[in-house]
């Protein structure tokens, strides 16, 4: 069964209640929300919990800075990027790194649905498209 707009909005509010002021998901807040739902036993509990999980996953992606790199990157540079994006997005960001040889050189950074790319592969693709 699908949820109507009112139930989806309620699931979003529950997800926001699960966040710290810095925008991070906190286990004790999630426990409090789940305990409250368990005691209230709302109608459509299962779809509501699925929607709640969906919105928590969105918030988790919004709080993660994933940096893909082709070669070694200095830890100080990674931390500077994390601090810059945390200031720009006005929330604490969890830093994750992943090596990606397909980038050739440079970085690809993603926060939620936003992607910032400075890789050589991206520039070569743009050049190839411009020449075609």
Residue-wise pLDDT tens digits, 2-11: 778 988 999 9
Residue-wise pLDDT tens digits, 61-87: 999 999 999 888 889 999 999 999 999
Q: Is 81 left (phi over 0), alpha (psi -120 to 50) or beta?
A: alpha
Distance CA 68, CA 26 (A): 26
Q: In angstroms, how far apart are the furthest CA atoms of the chain?
A: 64
* High-pLDDT (> 90) share of the chain, %: 54
Confidence tier at 1 by pLDDT (50, 70, 90): low
Residue-wise pLDDT tens digits, 11-40: 999 999 999 888 889 999 999 999 999 898
* 83 contacts: CB under 8 Å, gap ≥ 6: none
């Amino acid at each position: 069964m699908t949820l109507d707009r009112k139930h989806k909005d309620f699931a979003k509010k529950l997800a926001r209640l699960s966040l710290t002021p810095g925008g991070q998901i906190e286990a004790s807040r999630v426990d409090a929300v789940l305990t409250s739902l368990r005691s209230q036993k709302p109608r459509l509990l299962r779809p509501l919990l699925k929607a709640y999980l969906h919105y928590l996953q969105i918030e988790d992606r919004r709080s993660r800075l994933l940096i893909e790199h082709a070669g070694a990157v200095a830890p100080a540079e990674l931390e500077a990027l994390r601090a810059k994006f945390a200031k720009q997005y006005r929330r604490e960001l969890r830093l994750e790194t992943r090596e990606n040889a397909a980038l050739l050189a440079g970085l690809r950074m993603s926060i939620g649905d936003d992607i910032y790319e400075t890789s050589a592969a991206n520039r070569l693709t743009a050049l190839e498209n411009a020449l075609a």
